[in-house]
Structures are given as C-alpha cells and as structure tokens.
Amino acid sequence: MLRGVGLGLRWALAENIIERPPPELAFIEVAPENYMRRGGLFPASLSACADRWPIVTHGLTMSLGGVDPISPEYLATLASFARRVQTPWHSDHLCFTVAGGTVTHELLPLPFTAEAAEHVAVRVMRAQDALGVPMAVENISYYAHPGAPEMDEADFATAVVARSGCSLLLDVNNVYVNAKNHGFDARAMIAKMPLDRVVQIHVAGHDTSDPTLILDTHAEAVRDEVYDLLAFTLRKTGTLPVLLERDDNFPPWEELCAEVAKLDAIVRESTAPRDASENEWLSASALARQTRDGAR
Amino acid sequence: MSFLSYQAELRDALLASDPPDAAFAAFGAHPERWKVYRRMVRSRFADSIEHGFERLRAAVGADRFREIVWRFLAEAPPHSHYLRDVPGEFLRFFEKNCAALTRAYVLPAHALDLARYEWAELETAYSFEETSAVDVGPLDMHRTAVLSPAHRLIDLAYPVHRMGTAGHDETMQAAPFSLCLYRDAKTHEVAVLELTPVTAAMLSFVELRTSTLTEVVRSAAEAVGVTVDVAFVEALSTLLADLIDRGVLLGSLVPKETS
C-alpha cells in the first residue's frame, strides 16, 4: 500500500533524487508521456528510481473530457508502461487536452454539467479497461468556466467517480487556487469532495504575482495556506500518499528536501489518532478505501 | 455553445494567429482569463520548439523565429501526445513551407539544413527502439550487419554541425557533408561522425538490412567509384573496429534457428 510523501521525477531533480534522496521519500510519481517511447537518459533514471521506490503514474494527455476518441496507440503504450512500472493506479485529469486532433498539452476546463460528467465517466471506464489498472481522476485548477455551471466542482467530481467507479486524486493546491480565483471556501469544497474515494493527494506551489488571478505553476514553494488545507484534508481522510509537485524554478535541493520533510510531518501529525469521534470517522474512511482496494 | 463546439472553438482561439476578442467572450465570463490559457498553450509550444532549435532560432532571429512558430501553431498544430515530438512536427512544417518561409522571413541558405540537423540530434537522443541482444552476434562479413537503433544518417549541403551554439556564421559556405549521429551507450550523449562518401554509402546500405556486409561494401565502393584494394580493406577493417567500439555497429544478425 502506497504511503508517505513522494516526488515527481523531473529531469532537473533526477540526479539528486537518486544520489541524495530525502530520508522521508516514499514513492516516485512519473508522467508517462515523458518516458514512453523514449530511450537514453530518461528511462535510465526511471530504472534507477524503480529499483528503490514504488512508482505511480500520472498522465497529462489522455484527455478524459475530450470529444476526440482516446488514441488506441497511446492507450496501448500507456498500458505497457503501467505494467512495467507496476503502478498501483493511473491518474489523469478532469479536463480535456485534445481537440480536433490537436494535442494542446494544456489542462483545459470542462463545464460542470451532468452531460460532461457522464461523458468523462464513460471514457474513464473504457480507459480503465484498456489499461488494466485502476484509474483515478484529478481535480484541476481552472481559471474560467465555460458557460454557466450546473453544479460545483465537488459535485462534478462526485458524479464522475460514482458513475465510473474510479478513484480521486485530490489536488489540494488546485482547490485552494480555484477557491481564490472563483471566490468559494476551500475547506467547504474539500469537505464536499468524495473523500472516501481519494487514493492520493497532490500539493504544489502557486504564483500570486497577479492578485486578480492566482496561477497554478508548480514553480514556487508550497504556501502555508496549502499546508493547512492539506492537514485539514488528511484529518478527514486518514493517511494517504502525498505528492509534492515541483516542475519549474527549482530551489536548492536542501529546500526541496525540507519541503518533503515538512509534508511528512504534516501527514504523520494530521493522521495520528485524536479523539474518539474523529477516530470513528477516520476508520470509516479507511475501511471504505480498503474495501475498494480489496475489490480490485 | 455545445459541449462539442466549445472544445473546437477553444482550440481555435488558443492557436489562431490573431483571434478576435469576441472569440474569448463567447466562452462566458472572464474573457481575459481565457486569454491566459492562450498565453500558456502558445508559450509552452514555443519554449519546446525554441529549446529544440536553439541554433536555428539564433540564425533566423528570435522575433522572426517566433513568428514562424505562431504560423506553425495556426496552420499545422501539433498532434503528438509527447511534447518532445513537437519540434519534429515543427520541422515537417518548416520543410513543407521552406520556400515560402524563406521569402517571407529572409532566412539564411543553411536554415533548412540547420533545422534538420538540430532535430536529428534530438531524435537520436530520444530514440527508443531496441535491438534484441539475442538477434545480434559478432560481426561477420557474410551476414547482415546491424546498426544501433540510436543513430541517424543525414546529408547536409552546409556544414551546420560545425557551427557554434550562437547560430551565427556569416561566412558559411555550401559544402556537402554526410554525418552519422549516434547516442553513446554509456553516457547517453549524442556524438557526430563526419563520413567519407564510401562510409556514408556503406552505412546507408547497412541500414536497409537486405545484404551481407560483404555485399554492402562492394555496393558502396561501386556507388562512389572506389577500388577495393588492399589499402581499402585495411581502412575498412579500421573503420569497422571503430564503429563497433563506438557502439554504432552492434554486430551481425544471427540467423533464426529453424525447427
């Protein structure tokens, strides 16, 4: 069972991860698109990591909400990759990235409608069948919503996971960014998410240089508000694997290691047993996950 | 706006050369935020392409190169799931439209060679094909020779591989070169070999995997008008040893056992 704090395997971090890993590092997450159909240094780094840590895959371009068919070739290559690294699940985003044959390489927002939720759920089920591993969907940061929403983001995520049976990768930084950009309460949104379906959490930094629009850049340190939101989430879910996403503007390695250590402390502190009522909630949540895992 | 049309119209607004403001207003509230998506998508593609073609960008000029990138995104947007493939997709657009682009942007004569060379470097570095070790044995002149999949042969009209990373060379003169780019098996770095005409012909024939190495050597010598004499054979022996040492030449195909 995957636990603890992980790091994304980025080229700029690979040497330090392999040579000087933080002691708390428990798993590695990779974007398969960066490793599939690729030789040379990248797969060599991945192999070095796979020898030491569990690998979990997190895709970027499946386009679960797209109307273009998901590429069979992409799915077949991904299935092979997922088997090779023995990922416990494969995650991708609640968004579309492909339109009219163009792969935009951007997580573009879906309308929060029943039609879109149904569309995504059906594609998740098909993808899951093709991949042969359980799937999780991640809530994205969205800067604008197309048209008028029929529901909020939590209800949309709930509809997708309920219909498809997939899990949720909860990005608490994305919830925070969306809350600031769209004016809702982040904790209330987290509490409304299908927390019993969460298998992994993401945290990251964001850019606040434009006060009218926070950008989810993964290029800054995690902010205290996001650490607090993570602790709030973990107190409700119980222990879950937490990934620190850092994709750009890399700090000195010691700073990143300190972030990993801080996250590890938060995971431990937030999921330590407290009073009876909270323990009861945690047990129920953990039981739900174990039942699901058992069903796989 | 339907679910289907929203996605197509957003794609167009993100990649078009000069979409009207109304294109963004059509998506709902916050049209300025939809333009943020446009900036993010275009800059990600531009960064990927400019990283892949550093020398071409320098040779063409940063502003002109960026204009060509915008034309690529508007006219032949990327289709690959792999961002690292996008420079290759850009190269195909550049090759297809080279004459028009050269007229419009006054490109240097060696621009196309430079683009092809820079992509060949990347493609060699990314190459993922594998040759199974069980299919390859020691080099045998009477069997089919096998090259490492992580190589590219390329013919150039200009010596762009000798340019510095700055990309500027006002004195570049046309001169044909045949190159073999290969990825070092240990360091994974890409290295470049300048090939003589007979070596270039020989490696081209080896790539086809249709003849024994003896036949390949004979065909290559005939193609370039070289006499196969003692000196040639001695030089060939040295060449083959060097190519094996570099990992360019893996050995010879082992015949499949028949039951």
pLDDT per residue over A157-187, tens digit each? 999 999 999 999 999 999 999 999 999 999 9
Q: Which of A39, A103, A147 sits opposite B81 (nearest CB)?
A: A103
Given this model, what pLDDT does residue B133 score?
75
* Contact list, B81 vs chain A (CB under 8 Å): 33, 61, 71, 74, 103
Given this model, what pLDDT does residue A252 score?
97
Asked if residue B122 belongs to a domain, the reply is no
Question: Per-residue confidence at A281, pLDDT binned at 50, 70, 90?
Answer: very low
Question: Per-residue confidence at B255, pLDDT binned at 50, 70, 90?
Answer: confident
Asked if residue B14 belongs to a domain, the reply is yes
Q: Do B82 and A33 touch (CB under 8 A)?
A: yes
Asked if residue B193 belongs to a domain, the reply is yes
Given this model, what pLDDT does residue A284 score?
44
**A28 pLDDT more than 80:** yes
Q: Do A100 and B11 touch (CB under 8 A)?
A: yes
Q: In chain B, which residue's Cα lies nearest the Cα of A95?
A: B7
Residue that terminates a domain, selected from B50, B73, B107: B107
Please check whether residues B48 and B157 belong to one and the same domain: no
Task: Name the residue ranges covered by the structural domains of chain A.
Answer: 5-295
Q: For chain A, what percent of residues have pLDDT higher than 90? A: 89
Q: Which residues contact A199 (CB under 8 A, 6 or more apart)?
A: A88, A89, A136, A167, A168, A169, A240, A241, A289
**B189 pLDDT more than 80:** yes
CA distance B232 to chain A (A): 35
**Mean pLDDT of the region A253-261:** 97
Please check whether residues B180 and B93 belong to one and the same domain: no
Please check whether residues B2 and B95 belong to one and the same domain: yes
* Contact list, A103 vs chain B (CB under 8 Å): 78-81
Q: Do B10 and A67 touch (CB under 8 A)?
A: no
Please check whether residues B2 and B103 belong to one and the same domain: yes
The C-alpha R_g of chain B, in whole angstroms, comes to 23
Spell out which chain B residues touch chain A, with contact meaning CB-CB distance below 8 angstroms.
1, 3-4, 6-8, 10-11, 14-15, 27-30, 33-34, 36-37, 40-41, 44-45, 77-84, 86, 125-130, 149-150, 183, 188
Asked if residue B114 belongs to a domain, the reply is no
Q: Which of B28, B41, B149 sits opposite A104 (nearest CB)?
A: B41
Asked if residue B223 belongs to a domain, the reply is yes
Q: Do B81 and A147 touch (CB under 8 A)?
A: no
CA distance B18 to chain A (A): 17
Question: Per-residue confidence at A288, pLDDT binned at 50, 70, 90?
Answer: very low
Asked if residue B212 belongs to a domain, the reply is yes
User: Which residue range(s) make up the domain with B157?
Assistant: 130-259
Please check whether residues B94 and B134 belong to one and the same domain: no
* Contact list, B37 vs chain A (CB under 8 Å): 106, 108, 143-144
* Contact list, B33 vs chain A (CB under 8 Å): 143-144, 213
Helix%, strand%, coil% for chain A, nearest 5: 45, 15, 35
**A285 pLDDT more than 60:** no
Q: Do B10 and A66 touch (CB under 8 A)?
A: no
Q: Which of A39, A102, A115 sits opposite B150 (nearest CB)?
A: A39
CA distance B27 to chain A (A): 5
Q: Which superfamily does CATH assign the domain made up of A5-295 to?
A: Divalent-metal-dependent TIM barrel enzymes (3.20.20.150)
Q: Do B8 and A145 touch (CB under 8 A)?
A: no
**Mean pLDDT of the region B99-123:** 96
Asked if residue B182 belongs to a domain, the reply is yes
Q: In chain A, which residue's Cα lies nearest the Cα of B34?
A: A144
Give chain B's domain count. 2
Asked if residue B188 belongs to a domain, the reply is yes
Q: Which of A38, A103, A147 sits opposite B126 (nearest CB)?
A: A38
Residue B221's CATH number: 3.90.930.50
Q: In chain B, which residue's Cα lies nearest the Cα of A33?
A: B82
Residue pairs between chains A and B whose CB atoms are closer than 8 Å:
105
Please check whether residues B150 and B257 belong to one and the same domain: yes
**A282 pLDDT more than 50:** no
* Contact list, B34 vs chain A (CB under 8 Å): 143-144
Q: Do B4 and A148 touch (CB under 8 A)?
A: no
Q: Do A144 and B37 touch (CB under 8 A)?
A: yes
State the Cα–Cα distance between residues A5 and A201, nearest whole angstrom.
Answer: 10
Please check whether residues B151 and B80 belong to one and the same domain: no
Please check whether residues B17 and B64 belong to one and the same domain: yes
Q: Which of B3, B15, B150 sits opposite A102 (nearest CB)?
A: B15
Given this model, what pLDDT does residue A186 score?
98
* Contact list, A213 vs chain B (CB under 8 Å): 33, 36
Is the CB of residue B150 less than 8 Å from the CB of residue B184? no
Residue that terminates a domain, selected from B76, B107, B138: B107
Q: Read off the tokens for A167.
A: 């899990």
Given this model, what pLDDT does residue A104 score?
98
Given this model, what pLDDT does residue A286 score?
42
Q: Do A40 and B125 touch (CB under 8 A)?
A: yes
Please check whether residues B34 and B149 belong to one and the same domain: no
DSSP bridge pairs for B25: none
Given this model, what pLDDT does residue A276 score?
47
